[in-house]
């Protein structure tokens, strides 16, 4: 089945394992134009060349680090062209213990997951763009639902992004443009490798297939769905239990 309606995709965090799977699935279904943003100009070549060689796709690349704010006043740096899908998969789990004592690690987690992403979302969600059909998919995390001792720097940054995007969902209500907030549970990627047992992680190829079933879905979505009841339970756990997680 071809997804005729997503012909072009702009990806922030294009070297993430889940973004690679989504780009491959998009290309398989007919997407032929990509704008890939990563902080690594060598790693990004792999997926860019794969899309060019396998699907004859038109692929542009941009290299940037979300913790670098030197270009904040340079509007051409944050310029975003017209794409059907805007996908944000950049994210950094970081080291919670280190962040407690090292402000640079704390700031890196907040900037990579929230503060550094905001200027890009601002550039995407222009009043003109949201009048037309299109979609923004943003990966947040189930970690945003309740602060836990093991990951509250990451979780709070994702919670900021989550809240920001909920505002956008409401702002785009009744418009052609949809905002999809993907609250992911464990996925088998380099972020979880060695930290989470394999059997608890969903494969990124399955994530891609699930998301592309309904590309213009709007609002908050747990992925996979069963994280919704799990998090509903975790949200009401007493602090005595949460303190052990
Ligand atoms: N894996 C999970 O279990 C899980 C669960 C919940 C939510 N999520 C979220 O899902 C999204 C995709 O994650 P993933 O599992 O595919 O992880 P991943 O493979 O580690 O990808 C994360 C991506 O973010 C990029 N990134 C990190 N810090 C950056 C910075 N300062 N500037 C620019 N790019 C930066 C990384 O770039 P480099 O390639 O250059 O390192 C990497 O491509 C992330 O937002 C993550 O927080 C993941």
Alpha-carbon torsion (132, 113, 187, 45), positive or negative: positive
Is 86 within a domain?
yes
The answer to whether residue 1 sits within a structural domain is: no
Q: 170-197 as b/e, with b when 16 or more CB fall inside 10 Å?
A: eebeeeebbbbbbbbbbbbbebbeeeee
Pocket (CB within 6 angstroms of ligand 1): 13, 15-18, 38-40, 43, 65-67, 89-92, 112, 139, 141, 184, 186-187, 189-192
For ligand 1, mutation pick of 89, 181, 227, 228 (most atoms within 8 Å of CB): 89
Is the pTM higher than 0.85? The answer reads yes
* CATH number for 132: 3.40.50.720
In whole angstroms, give the CA distance from residue 215 to residue 217: 6
Decide if 63 is inside a domain: yes
End-to-end CA distance of the chain: 43
Per-residue pLDDT of the chain (245 residues; tens, 9 = 90+): 445 589 999 999 999 999 999 999 999 999 999 999 999 989 999 999 999 999 999 999 999 999 999 998 988 999 999 999 999 999 999 999 999 999 999 999 999 999 999 999 999 999 999 999 999 999 999 999 999 999 999 999 999 999 999 999 999 999 999 999 999 999 999 999 988 888 899 999 999 999 999 999 999 999 999 999 999 999 988 888 888 77
What's the domain range around 151? Answer: 8-242
Phi and psi at residue 196, to the nearest 5°: -130, 135
Is 158 within the bounds of a domain?
A: yes
Q: State how many domains the chain has.
A: 1
Residue 24, in any domain of the structure: yes
């Amino acid at each position: 089945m071809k997804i005729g309606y997503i012909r072009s995709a702009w990806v922030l965090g294009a070297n993430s394992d889940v973004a690679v799977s989504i780009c491959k699935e998009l290309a398989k279904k007919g997407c032929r134009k990509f704008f890939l943003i990563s902080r690594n100009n060598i790693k990004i070549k792999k997926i860019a060349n794969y899309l060019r060689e396998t699907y004859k796709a038109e692929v542009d690349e941009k290299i940037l680090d979300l913790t670098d704010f030197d270009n904040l006043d340079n509007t051409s740096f944050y310029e975003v062209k017209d794409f059907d899908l805007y996908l944000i998969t950049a994210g950094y789990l970081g080291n919670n213990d280190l962040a407690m004592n090292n402000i640079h690690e704390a700031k890196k987690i907040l900037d990579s997951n929230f503060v550094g992403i905001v200027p890009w979302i601002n550039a995407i969600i222009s009043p003109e763009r949201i009048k037309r059909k299109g979609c923004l998919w943003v990966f947040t995390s189930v970690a945003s639902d309740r602060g836990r001792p093991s990951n509250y720097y990451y979780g709070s940054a994702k919670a900021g992004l989550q809240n920001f995007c909920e505002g956008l969902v409401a702002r785009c209500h009744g418009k052609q443009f949809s905002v999809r907030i993907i609250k992911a549970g464990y996925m088998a990627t380099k972020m979880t490798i060695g930290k989470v047992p394999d059997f608890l992680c969903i494969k990124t190829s399955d994530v891609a297939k699930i998301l592309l079933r309904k590309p213009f879905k709007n609002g908050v979505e747990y992925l996979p769905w069963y994280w919704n009841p799990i998090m509903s339970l975790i949200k009401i756990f007493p602090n005595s239990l949460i303190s052990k997680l």
